[in-house]
Structure 1
Amino acid sequence: MSSCFEPMSDLIPGLPEDVARECLIRVGFDQLPTVRRISRQWREEVESPDYSRLRRAEGLSRTVLAMVQAQPEHVEQGPAQKHSSASTAANGGGPANKYRMVLLDPVEGRWAPLPVLPGPTGSLPLFCQVAAVDVAQGRKQLVVVGGWDPESWAPTDSVYVYDFLSGTWRRGAPMPGPRRSFFATAAVGGTVFVAGGHDEEKNALRSALAYDPESDSWTALPDMAEERDEPRGLCVGGKFLVVGGDPTPAQGRFAGSVEAFDPATSTWSPVQEGVLQDGACPRTCCVAPGEERMYMLRDGNLVARDGGASAAWRTVASVPEDARTASTVSAIPDGRVVVIGSGCHGGDQTVYMLRDDEAGKPASWLRAPAPPEFSGHVQAACFLQI
C-alpha cells in the first residue's frame, strides 16, 4: 500500500536531530496541522508527549483565547441572518452573522481563524458554549456544545470537537435530555460539564451532564439544589462551579448564589449564598485556569474576588468606554485579564488587556489591535494553552 508521506531519513535534511527538533518546537500554534502533514516523522514528532513538554520547557507554549466570533459583514451570509440580528440584540449581543472559531494570542496580538464547521451553513450554532480540554498525550481539543441552529433558531443538542493537531472538526455524541439553552459550561480536566439553562418551554433546569471527548460519551449527574437559567460555568479548584442564574418563577432576577460539583465525589456542595449581588448577571464572571480569583464587570468597572466564603469584591480598574458593553471577560493565569466589548450594542468589538498582579502600580489597559476581519461580536470564549 502506498503512503501519502515522503520518506525522510532526518527530521530536517542536513540538520542534526537536536537542532531540527529545536526548529519544530518553534512552529506557531496555528501551523501545527500543516506541520503534521509534511511527513510521517514530523507527525510522530508533534504528536509525542515530549513535543508538548519541550515547548513548555522552552517557554514556547502560548496561552490563547478561543472565541466564537461573528464573521464580518462583507462575508457571504445565510438567509437566517436578517432575523438573527434582532434576536442577538435582544439577548445583549452585537450583530449576528455566521459564527466561526477564532484564536487570539492577546500578548502578541496574533489572530488566526480555525477551519469553518462542516455543513451547509458553515456556521457554529448561535449562543453555543465552548470549553477546552486536555486529551491523550497532551493533545488539546475544543468542544462546542448546544446553541441554536443558525437557520431555524431551534435549540440543538449538537456537539462539535476540534482537534488542534489534525486541524479538523468532528461531530460528537448529541447532548442527551431536553434541548437546553443558555446553560453553564466549563471543562474540568478532560471532561466538559453542563448544568442548568432552560428547556424549550422556558422552564429553568436543575439537571447536569458530563461529556468525555475521548470516549465520546455523556453521563448524567445528580441535579443541582436550585433551578438555574442563564448561569455561568467556571472551573475552580478542580470543581465545576455554577454561578448565579434564575428560577422559572423569577426569570430575569438573577440569584447571587453558587453551587459546586466535585468530580472526585460526584456530589454538589451546599449552596453558597451571596457570592454575587442578587440581580447581578453572571455572564462576565471568569476565573483563570488553576486559580480561584474571580473577575466580573460591574457598573463599568472590572472587579475581583479572591477565594473564600467571606471574600469581598474589590475594584481593579475602570473599563475603557469603548468596551463597557462587554461580550466576554477572560482571565489568564499570569494575572492578565482580557475584556472584549464595544461602546454600544452592535458596535465593532474592541480588545483590551490588563495586568492585575503588579502590586503598587496603577492599573492600565493595553488595547490589542483587531484587524477588521476580526472585529465581529464574540458570543463565547475560553482560554487554553497550546
Structure 2
Amino acid sequence: MGELIPGLPEEVARECLVRVGFDQLPVVRRISRQWKSEVESPYYHRLRRSEGLTRPVLALVQAQPTAPSADDAAGPAAQKHSSTTGGPANSYRMVLLDPAEGRWTPLPPVPGPTGCGSLPLFCQATAVDGGRGRKRLVVVGGWDPETWAPTDAVLVYDFLTGAWRRGAPMPGPRRSFFACAAVGGAVYVAGGHDEEKNALRSALAYDPEADAWAPLPDMAAERDEPRGLCAAGRFLVAGGYTTQAQGRFVGSAEAFDPAASAWGSVQEGLLEDGACPRTCCAAPGAERVYMLRDGHLVARDGGATAPWRAVAQVPEDARTAATVAALPDGCVVVVGSGCHGGDQAVYVLREEEPGKGASWARAPTPPPEFSGHVQASCFLEI
C-alpha cells in the first residue's frame, strides 16, 4: 500500500484525516481505497474520540421552511416556517444541531415516496453505534405526510456514506405513538396503539446491521404514548396509558434487559400519575432522568424511590413544545418556543453538581431556515 498522504509520515497523515469533519467523511471515502479503509476502521473512530475530536450533537426532526411564492405580497410574515402554514405544513426533515457552537446542518432528503422527501409525521428517531465505528440514525414509523395513515417505514442514515436507505419495514400491527430507543447496536420499540386505537403491550427489536426485526416478550401492561429511554444499558418504557384510560397517564415504567432478554418488574411511581412523559430524557452513562414539569427542569437520580429535585426554571421563550436532551458532558439542552407556532429557541444548562444550582445559556438564534417546530430528537456523538 502507498502512503496515506504522499510526502507525509503516516502518523502525520493520520492526524490530518482524523480531523476531517463528519460531513466530509463520505467524500473522503471516495478518494481512494486506502482512505476508505482508514475512515471505516474502528481505530480511526477510537482515535477521534481519544483526541476529543468527536462532538455531541442533536439530530432533530424539524419542520421544513416554506418557500415563498414569486408573487407573495404578504411579506416576511407569510414566509413563516411550515409548521404554521398551510400546504406543505406536514413536511419535516432531519437536521443536526451542535449546541455548543450553535451550528445547524441539514441532512440530505429522505428517499421517496414519503410526501416529497418528508420524514413521516410523529416518527421516532434514534442513533445507533454500528460495526467498525459506524454511526447511524434510524427513523421508525410515523404517519404518511399526505394521507396521515400510520406507516411501517424504517429509514437509516449512514454518516460514512452520507446517504439514507430504506430498512426492513416494522412488523405489524402498524403502531403510532410508541416508545423507541437504541440500546447498544439495536433499536427497541414498544407499546403505542394500533390502527383501531387499541393500546399495545407488544415490543420489537431492530438490528440495523442485519436489517432485521425480532419480536420481544410483551410488556406487563398496555402503554399508549409512552416514552422510550436508554437507561443503564436497558430499554426503559416510561408512562403511557391503557386503551380504557385514554390519556390518563400512569407513572409506572418497565425496563427490558437485552442481556437477559426479559422485562423486569413494573416500577411504580417512576413518574407522577397523570404526567406526560414526552419530555423525559436519560443522561448518557448515568442513572439520571430529566423532564419538564410546570415550567421547571427536574431530575431524578436513581430509581423510583429517589425524589425528584428542581434543577432550574426553563426560560419562558422555550417552554412550549419543548424537546429535552441530556449530553454526556453534563449539559442539558432544551429546544422550544414561547408559544405554539413560535420560532425555536435553544438553551443549554450545565449542572456541575446536583443541588448546587444551575443557569441557562442561550445558544445563538437559529437561522430562519432552522426556526421550524421540532417534532422529535435524539442525541449522538460524531
Matched with 1:64 is 57
**In 2 relative to 1, CA 55–306 (structure 1 residues): closer, same or farther, beyond 3 Å?**
same
Matched with 1:3 is none
Report whether the alignment pairs 1:191 with 2:186.
yes
SS of the aligned residue for 1:41 comes to helix
Matched with 2:296 is 301
**In 2 relative to 1, CA 75–195 (structure 1 residues): closer, same or farther, beyond 3 Å?**
farther
Once the two structures are superposed, what CA deviation does each residue of 1:289-311 show, in whole Å capped at 9, x if it has no partner? 22210000000000000013310
Please report how far the alpha carbon of residue 361 of structure 1 lies from its aligned counterpart in structure 2 after TM superposition: 5.4
Distance 2:164 2:49 in 1: 25
Are the equivalent residues in 2 in contact too, given 1:354–1:364 (CA < 8 A)?
yes
Aligned pairs (5 A) from 1:89-100:
96-100=89-93
Are the equivalent residues in 2 in contact too, given 1:29–1:62 (CA < 8 A)?
no
Aligned pairs (5 A) from 1:235-246:
235-246=230-241
Q: 1:326 aligns with which of 311, 321, 324?
A: 321
Are the equivalent residues in 1 in contact too, given 2:90–2:121 (CA < 8 A)?
no
Report whether the alignment pairs 1:292 with 2:282.
no
Please report how far the alpha carbon of residue 359 of structure 1 lies from its aligned counterpart in structure 2 after TM superposition: 5.9
SS of the aligned residue for 1:122 comes to coil
Matched with 1:114 is 107
Structure 1 gaps of 5+ residues are 1-7, 77-84, 90-94
SS of the aligned residue for 1:357 comes to coil
Once the two structures are superposed, what CA deviation does each residue of 1:152-188 show, in whole Å capped at 9, x if it has no partner? 1100001011111011111111100210000000001
Matched with 2:77 is none
Matched with 1:208 is 203
**In 2 relative to 1, CA 306–349 (structure 1 residues): closer, same or farther, beyond 3 Å?**
same
Matched with 1:4 is none
Matched with 2:378 is 382
Aligned pairs (5 A) from 1:254-273:
254-273=249-268
Once the two structures are superposed, what CA deviation does each residue of 1:326-356 show, in whole Å capped at 9, x if it has no partner? 3310001111000010001111111111001
**In 2 relative to 1, CA 172–343 (structure 1 residues): closer, same or farther, beyond 3 Å?**
same
* TM-score (normalizing by structure 1): 0.91
**In 2 relative to 1, CA 203–138 (structure 1 residues): closer, same or farther, beyond 3 Å?**
same
How many matched pairs?
364
SS of the aligned residue for 1:311 comes to coil
Are the equivalent residues in 1 in contact too, given 2:348–2:361 (CA < 8 A)?
yes
Matched with 2:157 is 162
Q: 2:120 aligns with which of 110, 120, 125?
A: 125
Please report how far the alpha carbon of residue 28 of structure 1 lies from its aligned counterpart in structure 2 after TM superposition: 1.4
Of 12-21 and 323-332, deviating more is 12-21
Distance 2:174 2:55 in 1: 35
SS of the aligned residue for 1:249 comes to coil
SS of the aligned residue for 1:43 comes to helix
Are the equivalent residues in 2 in contact too, given 1:196–1:230 (CA < 8 A)?
yes
Distance 2:44 2:286 in 1: 26
Please report how far the alpha carbon of residue 260 of structure 1 lies from its aligned counterpart in structure 2 after TM superposition: 0.6
Please report how far the alpha carbon of residue 67 of structure 1 lies from its aligned counterpart in structure 2 after TM superposition: 1.0
Matched with 2:46 is 53
Distance 1:206 1:359 in 2: 35
Please report how far the alpha carbon of residue 360 of structure 1 lies from its aligned counterpart in structure 2 after TM superposition: 7.3
Distance 2:144 2:167 in 1: 16
Aligned-residue RMSD, C-alpha:
1.8
Distance 2:353 2:260 in 1: 37
Please report how far the alpha carbon of residue 277 of structure 1 lies from its aligned counterpart in structure 2 after TM superposition: 0.8
Aligned pairs (5 A) from 1:65-104:
65-74=58-67, 96-104=89-97
Are the equivalent residues in 2 in contact too, given 1:96–1:377 (CA < 8 A)?
no
Q: Give, as a single letter, the amino acid of the residue that structure 2 aligns with 1:298.
A: R
SS of the aligned residue for 2:36 comes to helix
